[in-house]
Every structure is written in structure tokens, then in C-alpha cells.
Structure 1
Amino acid sequence: MAYDGRCGDGGVDVLVRQGTRLRIFQLKYFRDGFGSDHSKRRRQIKNSFTAAMQHDPAEWILVIPTNPTLGEEKFVLDMGQDRPELELRIMGRQQLDSHLSRFLDLTEYFVRDSLLHHAKAFGQEKALLLGGLSDLIERTRALAGVADTLDLDWGVDTAMRDGVVVHTVRPKHERAVRKSPISFSFDQAFGAADAGVKKMFDRVVGFGASEEVVLPPEITRRLTFTNPDWLAPPPAPYELIVRSVDLTDRIGAEATFHLLDDEGNRRSSYRASIVHAGVGSRGYSLDLRLQDDTMLSLLVGETGIDLRADFSPHRWTPTQALQTIAFHRNLVELRGCELEVGEHLMTVQRAGALTHDGELTEALSDIELLAEDLDVVQRHCRTFFPIPANISAADRIDIRTARLLIEGHCVVYRGMRAFTMTLNGRYDPSLKEILAKSDVPLRVDSDIDMVIGKNRLSLGRLMFFHTRVNIENRDEVLAALEAGRGEGQEVRFVPENRERFRAILPTARPGRDDEPLIPTPWGLPGIDGPELIQEPGD
């Protein structure tokens, strides 16, 4: 903290507070020192020291523009004889030069005005680049150095893109926003058609959100920059791009994000990494990446917290989908959160519930059911792949029935509408008896592979059956057998009333042979049963 001493500074020009420890700097511009022949100057120093002691500092430093003599140093050290715990020292010319050498833009900033007339006289910006690209590099570097002296807290990077001059204003340090905030005023800059732009603008300026806002000329012409003075834009129409700057060294740091119930208890926890941290006029913002597929944006202000979650379902595995959807559900239901970064813990309570998006909730419920089904099927078949981006109704039914089979249910099998048998030419009594009946029960065991996209899943040996099966081409088969042409003849078995065969996975039903085989409904939203599936020939 620095003080204006024109009306008396109480012995403090600069005060630095580190926890409970205070360090006071007293600045004296004595160009020719304060030796024993300068009693008035020594009295000024003594008075400043006495006043500063009222603040009980741990360290007191006298800053002067010269290197102290032994006598001057002894004078300063003797002032602290009654305070052995106090650290006393002088910061002279040598130390000042050493510190300033690391911040050359400070020196250039303070001598800038005296050099302006030289720049105008030489007119270097219009000189020919006789040295080619090397001259251009040196000229650009020199101009950038001059531009860097515009402000102690803000730097300007300039580029030419397609004939357009682009200035990028950036902070030189983390305290730039607090020491010299960029401020502006606008008179009804945003119209009714600019609601979306204004919302983003408020997020970026108010909280330092990570979005990028583009303000077109029709908006910027009503903006007036009030600080700093040099930032006044040109009179010509211009476009303003507003983005926040990350203000933390913890970008990329690992963190843990906890969701809390109404009593403040942790209900769920997620590993996260910090990808953005910004600050604005109304609060601050944090962007977290969770589980590699979720970006969580937090805007924290006096009124509470605003949360926004963006999901990237591309190439979700079933496990990823289930974890992310569970996170979304917890995020909607729970009111508070904690962010744990190393030894630091931030707790925020949300003012209200998240806006309920019915369509999103329904879509996530559908994806969740699909992920649950596919997770069971993939583990059974030991074949793993991401959830396909597009799934037909037929594939969706197959995944569902496969799960039901694996869990020991009896199902109506969508793809099994008929069986075809090829005769070997022998006309035995059992075949004759079957052909004589109008309908017969039938059971067939078969190894089944299911194809989802480009992925083949082997379910194992299924048992297909139906209690009332008709022989679709009975007359043709009988005529072939009577004529002695039975070998190679196909017999087509079709369930009565164009139903589908039932199926079970026997290995999934140990000890359940005596149970009735009643088909389990598919249980898919919008698809109640096989009669809704239209196939060629239906």
C-alpha cells in the first residue's frame, strides 16, 4: 500500500503487509545525502521513524537515491537501539539500480515524455527498410519496446491481419486489474437484438469467464473508455474482442470437486483439473475439466454461484456415459460444492436450483439406459467399444434383448421370424407326423452373433422356441416327398399369427428349467413390442 505524503504520511510512504508482519518503506529524495552537516534532513528522518513506530513494524527501510556513507548508515541504525527486535536498513542507489534493471519498462515509462519530440523529429516509422527483413525485425522489436512503455500495468501487442491493425491489450502482472482497471462507459450500447452478446459480455467483464466476446462497430461506437487515457480508440469504426486472461499459476493443477447436500455433507466427489481462472468486476470464474468429457464453468459472486456444464458425448464408453450422466443428475439436485486444490478448500453454496431442461433430462435418460444395456452386453461378450453415434431402432432392440437374455430372461427375439430346414431325402414317421398337423411346437438351438455397427458380439448358444408353428410351404414339401424328390427340399417354419420366436440363454438360467417361459417386455421408451417394428415383407 502506498500513501500520498503531501498532507503528512504518518511516517509511512509504502506499507507492505505479510500476514501480521508489517514492513514500512520511508522515501527521502536527498540527492546529496544526509550527513552530519544536514541536521534538518536528519531531523526529518528521525521524525518519520518515530511516527512509523506507532504502527509497530517488523522492518523499517529508508530509501534514498544515493549510496549511504558509513556515518549515514550509523545514524539510521542507532535510531533502533531501543527496539532490538526491529530490522533497520537503507536501500540506496546500488540496490535501486539492481531492482530496476529487471524492469526496464519502468525507466522507459518515466522518461517517455522527454523522448517524444525526438521520435517526431526522426520520423523513423517512415524510413526505408534498406536492410530487408532484418531491418523489419529490428524496427518491429524497437516499436514494440516503445509501445511497452505506454503503461506500467498493461502491455500492447500489435499485428496486421489482412490489412487490419489488431491491438491486443494484456496485463503485465496479476495485479494489473486492481492497480489500473480498464474502465469504460456506454450509453445503451446493447440493443434488443444484442441480448446474447450482452449476456456473454457480462460474464466476461463481470466474472472473467473464458468466453470470447466480439463487439461489432454498431456497439463499440457507443463505448467510451475512461481509463487508462492512452486506450482511447480511433474515431474510425472498429471491432472489439473481449476475453479474460488466466490469473493463476494453477492452470492444469489437479483438484477434487465435491458436491454437497443441504446439510453440507459430501454426496459425490470427482477428480478435476483447472483449465481457466479469471476475475471480473462482480466476482470470479473457474473452468474445470472432469472425467475428460465434462467442462464445468463456475461464476462466483456475492449472490452465490452459477454453474454451467458442457458434455462431450463423442466416443463415450458405456462406463464414461454412466459416470457423466450421474454427475449431471447430482449437479442438478445438489445445492453446494467444494473445490479442493492442494491444501486450499473453497466452499460455495448455490442460491437456487439449476434450470431444469426437460428435453436434456429425457435424452440423458435414454443414453443412460442404452449405456447400462451395452455395458452388460460388452462385459458378457468381452468385446468393448464406444457407444455408436447413431443407432437404429433395430440395433437398439437387439442390445436390449441381449441384456435381458444375459440376465436370464425369456424374450421375444426381434430377428427370428422363421426357421428354414433342409431335408436329407429320408421320409421317416416323425416328419410325416409333423407334416400332418396344422401347427406344431418347435425348438431350435443355435449360436448367435449380434452385429452393432462394425462390432460383432457373440452371445453364445441360444434356445429358440414357439408352441404353435405352421409349415408355410406344407403342400410343396408333401409333393416333393411323394415324388421322391425330398433331398434338398426346404421346409419353412413360421410362428402362428406372424409372431416371432421366443429365446432364452440356457447358461444364464441355471436351475430354472421348471419355470414357465414367459417373455419379458423390452421396456424401451417408445417401443412397446415387436409389432411396432416394420421390416421388409411386413
Structure 2
Amino acid sequence: MTVDGRVRIYQLKYFPEGFPGSYQGRRAGIKRSFKKALEHDPDDWVLVVPCALTLSERAYVQDLGAGAERPRIRVLDRAWLDDKLALHADLESSCVRDDLREAARDYRAELAFLAGGTDDIAQRVGALGRRIDRLDLHWSIDVAYRNGAVVQTLRPKHPRAQQVSPIYFTVRGHFKDADPGLTAAVRRVVGFGTAEELILPASAIQELSVHGPEWLRIDGENAEVRMEPLSPAPGQGQSVELVFLDGSGAVRSVHEGTVRAMGKGQLGSSLDLAFTGLRLTFCHADDASVPTAASCAVDLTGLSCPDALQALDIYGQVMEGSAFRLRLNGEELAAGTFPGRVSPRRTVNGLRGSG
């Protein structure tokens, strides 16, 4: 691997008992690995072994590079590994799975009488929760019992879980008789990746299958599917500038805002922007023959008069089908003309709406 321009090679040797002089084959194997690594001209060569090195063993490794300035030789032994595993207990648990007896004991505890009341509940649910956390390095399940139903929520354990261990959901629904609002929401979220919550009721789910870690099994029968946007959303907080143009191409007005989210779906991409008192969403199809759609939501609740007028000015120009340019972080991102055919549902005095 290369770190800050330096080539670093890690050599892993599973020698739990070490490599004393009586184990000549092990020492010879280390030496062969070191010579092989020299072919790549590394800056650092690091031997990793799960044992506590003796002075003799450490000296043997250091002497491999005697008389040479490069590579720098280091050893990471049992003490270093123990320190790292102490910080990441889930890693050790995922590798050491011969603890079925303990797991069974935890499970039987859930069937106990709970004679200790809420103290027993906390202790036993906590034990089960820790057991669930050890199922996987990247994902866990949050479990809740609500009104006679067990609710399982899939939770990433770190921000890159979906990249290093992706989970795929295949949902087949029947929306022929579904509410038009639900059908439109599915198109926005699935088709363009808009950052909004999508709830598919069990009545709309025809088939649900999950592809991911072996332990992840979900029964799709009578299941409600709830999709929530990533937080923070991709692109969130980046600065945008919306410029309206008149018929001759001259600037009519300029408005500064921020990105709420950027998304990508099966049909194209989406861009969700926030201005004071107004939210503007673009859905751009990959198919060049399909026009880009834009929606505008206004909320004047609690705004000062100047801010409210600015929000209404943006809304009015969108509704008029004005020409515009859009800049992202100072770079031009898009230009065009708003469709101008939007049915207004405005927000005044706290009534939310969109157009």
C-alpha cells in the first residue's frame, strides 16, 4: 500500500508460538518474504505476528535490513494487536464464533419470567443487543417491540457500511390502484433518488427479497417498507446561486441558497435546493427526450417581510417559466427555462404546500 507517497508492505505471519532459533523454517520463511518485498522497493516493511516477540526474535527481524537505509523495518506483535482489538471488540467477535453456548444462554434469558421487573428487561435486552451487534462488522439490527409487533431496523455501524458491505433490496409492488401520491413518490425516490422518506404499505408490496450478509433474512410477507434518506445527504450544505434572466439574457435577480441533497436513481438524478422560505427540487432524466421536472415548495411561516417577498419572487419567476442559470460552488451547473406549468399550493401563515 502507498501512504503519503511512501510504499509500505505488511507481511502477515501466523506464528502464535513465535519463531525462535529452533524454528529455522519459520525464520527462513520470514527472510524469503522480506527478499520478495525488496523487489517492490518499499520505504517500509512491517512484519505482523500474533505473538510476544523475544529479544532474539526482534533482533533477527531488524538484522534483515542491516547495512541498508531502506526499507525501514518494524514489527507489530501481540501487544500491538491486543491494543487494537480492545478498541474494536466487534472485529474479534466476528472472527471468533465458537460461542454458541453463550448465545444460547442469552436467548434462554429472554424467555425468563423477568422477576426483577424493568431491571431485568434492561439487562436481558442489552445482552441480546450486544449479541446482535456481533453478527456483522458493518451492520446491526435495532429491535423494538411495539403493540404486539417486533420491529427490526437495519443500522449501519459506520458511514461506509453501504460501500464495503452493500445490501440490496428487491421490492416488487402493485401500484395500479394505489394512491396517485404514492405512485409519484415512488417515481421520485426510486427513479431520481430524491431525499425524502418513502413508505410503502404492506398492501402495495407484492414481493420483497433481501440480498446481503448471510445472517440477514427478512420475511417479506405482510411487510411495510420504509425508506429514509441518508443523513447527512450527499452534497448537503454546498452553496448554490440561482440567477433569473430576462428575455434578452440580462440578469433579473440573483438568489443564494444551499444544497439539501443530491441523488441518483434508476431514471436520472435529482437536486434539492433550499432558499429562505422556499425549496426547489429538480429531477433530471438520463433520457434526453424527457424534459427536466422542477417542483417548488414555499413556507412563509415566521419570515420577515423582505424574506417572504424574496421567496415569493423566486416562486413567481418559477411559475412564469423564466430563464435561469444555476451555479454550484461558483461553477455553472445548469441553464434552461422553468416549465411554468405548476399547480400552486402555497404556504401562508403556517400552511405548508408545494407547487
TM-score by length of 1: 0.52
1:356 is matched with which residue?
A: 340
**Once superposed, what is the RMSD of the aligned Cα atoms?**
4.2
Q: 1:117 to 1:68 in 2, by over 3 A?
A: same
SS of aligned partner of 2:166: coil
Select the residue among 304, 307, 324 that pairs with 1:320: 307
1:174–1:247 Cα contact (<8 Å) kept:
no
- CA distance in 2: counterparts of 1:280 and 1:68, whole angstroms: 53
2:99 is matched with which residue?
A: 115
Structure label with greater radius of gyration: 1
Identity of aligned residues (%): 30
2:9–2:44 Cα contact (<8 Å) kept:
yes
Which ranges in structure 1 are unaligned for 5 or more consecutive residues? 1-14, 341-346, 368-386, 391-538
2:240 is matched with which residue?
A: 257
Could you tell me how far 1:174 is from its partner in structure 2? 1.1
SS of aligned partner of 2:87: coil
Could you tell me how far 1:189 is from its partner in structure 2? 2.9
- CA distance in 2: counterparts of 1:206 and 1:50, whole angstroms: 54
Alignment of 1:36-435 (within 5 A): 36-80=21-65, 84=69, 86-112=71-97, 114-120=98-104, 123-186=108-171, 188-194=172-178, 197=182, 200-201=185-186, 203-204=188-189, 209-234=194-219, 236-247=221-232, 255-259=238-242, 268=254, 270-272=256-258, 288-291=273-276, 293-297=277-281, 308-328=295-315, 329=317, 333-339=323-329, 347=331, 349-350=333-334, 353-360=337-344
Count of matched residue positions in the alignment of Structure 1 and Structure 2: 338
What do the CA deviations read for 1:44-97 (whole angstroms, capped 9, x no partner)? 333434444555544432221112233333333344457635443222111111
Q: 1:192 to 1:155 in 2, by over 3 A?
A: same
Counterpart residue type for residue 68 of structure 1: L
Could you tell me how far 1:37 is from its partner in structure 2? 3.3
SS of aligned partner of 2:169: strand
What do the CA deviations read for 1:444-463 (whole angstroms, capped 9, x no partner)? xxxxxxxxxxxxxxxxxxxx
Bigger shift: 195-204 or 229-238? Answer: 195-204
Could you tell me how far 1:106 is from its partner in structure 2? 2.0
Could you tell me how far 1:159 is from its partner in structure 2? 0.9
Could you tell me how far 1:101 is from its partner in structure 2? 1.3
What do the CA deviations read for 1:303-349 (whole angstroms, capped 9, x no partner)? 89986543213354441133224445489633443137xxxxxx573
1:204–1:243 Cα contact (<8 Å) kept:
no
- CA distance in 2: counterparts of 1:238 and 1:332, whole angstroms: 45
Q: 1:210 to 1:271 in 2, by over 3 A?
A: closer
What do the CA deviations read for 1:29-56 (whole angstroms, capped 9, x no partner)? 1111223333333343334344445555
2:93–2:134 Cα contact (<8 Å) kept:
yes
Counterpart residue type for residue 323 of structure 1: Q
Q: 1:359 to 1:282 in 2, by over 3 A?
A: closer
Could you tell me how far 1:190 is from its partner in structure 2? 4.0
Greater relative CO, 1 or 2 (CA 8 Å, sep 6+): 2
2:293–2:339 Cα contact (<8 Å) kept:
no
Counterpart residue type for residue 60 of structure 1: W
Select the residue among 24, 37, 52 that pairs with 2:9: 24
SS of aligned partner of 2:16: coil
SS of aligned partner of 1:334: strand
Which ranges in structure 2 are unaligned for 5 or more consecutive residues? none
1:503 is matched with which residue?
A: none
